[in-house]
Structures are given as C-alpha cells and as structure tokens.
Amino acid sequence: MKIFTTEQIREADHYTIQQESISSTQLMERAAFACVHWISENCKNHRNFAVFCGNGNNGGDGFAIARMLYLKGFDVDVFVNPKAKLSHDANVNFKELKEIPEVIIKNFKDVEHYRFDSRTIIIDAVFGTGLSRNIEGEFKDLIDVLNSKKSVKISIDVPSGLFADKTLDENSTVFKADYTLSFQYWKKSFLHPETGKYTGKVEILDISLSEEYISQTETNDFIISDEIVKNIFKPRQDFSHKGTYGEVTIVAGSYGKVGAAVLSTKSALKTGTGLTFVNAPECGYEILQTSCPEAMFVEGGSEIIESIEVNEDSVYGIGPGLGTDEKTEKALLEFLKKYAKPLILDADALNIISKVKNSLQLIPEKSIITPHPKEFERLFGRTTDSFERVELARKKAGELGIIIVLKDHHTQIVTPEGNVFYNITGNAGLAKGGSGDILTGIITSFLAQGYFEEHAAILGIWFHGKSADFAAEKFSKEAMLPTDVINEFGNVFKEINSKVEKEL
C-alpha cells in the first residue's frame, strides 16, 4: 500500500472526480457514508454524538456524517463557528443539515456548558488534512476542552492539529483521538512516535478513489500490507530437502547473555532454516545444546566470542548478547574483512562498528542492519526526531548499499534505492529485552532460504509483529514474553499459507 503526501491525496480526489464524472460533494457523501457505516457497526452502545465541524471540507464531512447518523436513529448535536465562511462542499452539507430541526446546531463556545455523558461520542471534523499551520486562538481553546473530556473521541481523516506528512512543533495543540477514520491511505504522521500518539487506533476506510491514479502515482513510502506479504512469501515445496532452505550461523552470546543466543537460534530454527549453526562461547554449550538441540554448536571462545569462523555457504546473523570486549571486537572486524555475502548485524555488532572508525565500510553490500534509535544514533549521528532519522537512514542506506531496519513501534525498512516500508503489525508487548534477538533470527533465516534481501527484511519484520499480535491476544501485552512470540510462529505460517492457498 502506498503512502501519499497531502498534495498527492488532493490530486487523487480531483482525479477520481474527473474520471468518474462525479461531483466533489458526491465524493464527500461517499466518505461520510464509509465513516457512518464504521461508526454504526462499532459504536452500538452509544446513542449521543457531538460533532465538531470546521469551515473546510473536513467540516463538510462532519456535517454529512451528522445528518446520516441522525437518519440512523442516533441523537446528534453539531458545533460550528457561526462566523466562519464555509467551503462550497461544506456549505452544501450544512444547508442539508439545517433542514433537520431535531439536529441542534450550537456554537463552539457552547462546549463549555455542554453535558458530555458516558454514552456521548465526540467526533472531530475541524481541520483534517487541510491544516497548514499550528492551531491557535479559539480552535486551540476548543481542542483543549475536548481533550479534557473522558468521552470516546473519533477523528475524521486526520486528528485536528496534526499534519498528514510532517512532524509537529513543540507544544502544538492536537486533538487526541481514540480512533481515527482515515480515507483510503495511511498518512505518514500516523506512523511516527511524535505524531502517531494522537491517532488512537487507525481505521483505513476504502472510499474507492481511482485505482488508476494510485497505480500510476509514484512514491517512496509504503505500508507493508498483507498483499505485499502474500506476494513475497514462498510456500514450502513438497519435493524439497534441508539443503533447499539454506544454512544459518547465529553468532551470539557471552557469559550471562547466552539467552540472547538461544532466542535468536530458536527463531532461525522455527522460521524454517534447513541447517542452523550457533557460534557462541563455550560457557553456553550446555544451555544451547539443551534448549536448541536441532542447532549445531560452534565454539568461539570461553566466556566471550574470540573467533568467528568464515563459512561462505552460511548466512550470518551477528550481534545478540555478543558484548563489546576487545577480543570480540577484533574477531568481528576480522570476520567482516573476509566475508563478502549479505548478512544481518544487530545489537552489539552494531555497537562495535560504531566505536571503530571507518568500520561501516566493512559491511558487505545488501546486508541488513537492525538498529534501535540509540544504536542508529551511535552509528550515524543524532537527529531531532524520527522523521529526520528516516531521511538520514535513506541517505546512509544509499551510500553504503545496505538495508537499514529502524526498529520502532512502526518499524521502518529503508532500502538503498530510498524506499521506506512501514510495518503495522506488532504491539507494545515487544518492548522487552529479547525481542530484537528474535528478529535477528527470523530475518537471517529468511535470507538463508533464498529471499531477496529487501524481501527478507520486509517479511521478517511483518512476521515478527504478527507473531507478537497473536501472543498479545493470548497473554496480554504486559505478560507476553519473547518465547511466547516464538511459540506463535506456527500460527502465523498457518494463516499466511491459508491465504496463499485460497488465491490458488
């Protein structure tokens, strides 16, 4: 799924209107209908709606939504700025709404005396994607009052005060939604921590914008959709053998951190690698052979990794629990000078590289690195926010010819060509030590099985998040463990296999 800029979203609307020979008001009616359908299906325990409408097209959506909600039997109050000049489409819908005497139209200022009870839902249709500057004056006061209410809050298209494709200034005023009903596309601001915190749960509503426009319009930003995953995924073939699915070597662990090696090795095994080796210190031998009997142990030192054997037939995943001892540092750098194939580097492997000048140049082209924000900062320098971090990652991925996986709530995969893929699976239950170790094993396994580097990263990130979503359903985000995530791998494979089989 493509992510478009604010300007491209406007162009998509205009293109649809021209190609389908419909009016902009009819397109607005289509968007409102989609919102009301979602609301009526998901808000059956609520009867009262307070709809706040601006003077632009987002307000027009709000007027149309208010009318349709009333016709479905809900109680509706609408709040406006009576002095504002409405856009053409907003005015059309406002006039229709005024013809319904049972819908009470109030002034924004009346919100201070309005009774919000437990069954009232607040609908924000004040600004949408049309906002070009920070909210001030009476609009700021209105949003502040609404944010203080405990009622369920729904934003239409974009929470008021939020820009669709850029970050916010410090101390900006933004409507804090519980749900955002957005039309056709994800907006970039929904996917970054500084701005995404205002959207609540995002629901993308299909309003049948032109498929021709969507397919022909270029962008460098994408959502990892189920469709992308289905096109990447390769079902297991009946007439195959262990050699068909590649060989992995996980280089991980040090005294007290052998668990990281276990998690990464188990992940590689359970995602389907044909042969799995674990290069770890001798202190982890019994633990690894007991917990991962399917993997073959390669000793790399006593209590730390002091040597890494080069096996050109194997795909390497290096870093979990590795430590940054001088001997480990020397072993890693010597290995990188000799090994030329794409590999996965994570955690302490990245910390070692960040310490040693010019060692970034040793990373083989098309390799995948998986830094969290602090590790990225150590490697490439500080950025002011996650939007700037993505742009720096684009630059560095291109310069080094590597794939950079920026771990975050919505993890981003940045390719050497400058494309960015945002992941929308996963949850806050992954905010635990060990989650990254699992990811290293998953991506290494997919790369060894013959997936292209970009596809291994995309499928691996999606798969990791999907397994975490299944684990959270069973155990909760708070109680789920990384091992619970690994135990859900089979269920994810079952789901994706069933989807692929249905298409056949």
Question: Do 278 and 188 have their domain in common?
Answer: no
- What is the phi/psi pair of residue 19, to 5°? -70, -35
Predicted confidence (pLDDT) per residue in 383-412, tens digit:
999 999 999 999 999 999 999 999 999 999
CA angle 134/138/139 to nearest 5° reads 45
Please give the C-alpha separations between residue 465 and each of 143, 272, 297, 436, in angstroms, as whole numbers.
34, 17, 29, 11
pLDDT in tens, 268-291: 999 999 999 999 999 999 999 999
For residues 291-301, average pLDDT: 97
End-to-end CA distance of the chain: 22
Asked, for residue 15, whether it belongs to a domain, the answer is: no
Do 487 and 346 share a structural domain? yes
C-alpha–C-alpha distance, residues 23 and 235, integer Å: 46
CATH number at residue 113: 3.40.50.10260
Does residue 239 share a domain with residue 153?
no
pLDDT by residue (tens digit) across 239-261? 888 888 999 999 999 999 999 99
| Residue that finishes a domain, picked among 199, 219, 239 | 219
pTM (whole model) above 0.85 = yes
Q: Which domain holds residue 131?
A: 6-10+20-219
Residues 192 and 58 in one domain: yes
Please state, in angstroms and rounded to a whole number, the distance separating the CA atoms of residues 455 and 471. Answer: 24
| Position 281 in a domain | yes
Instruction: Grade residue 2 by pLDDT with cuts at 50, 70 and 90.
Output: very high
Q: What is the per-residue pLDDT for 504?
A: 54
Q: Residue 143: name the closest of 175, 171, 101 by CA.
A: 175
Same domain flag for 144 and 248: no
* Total count of domains within the chain: 2
Query: 375 with 285, same domain?
Result: yes
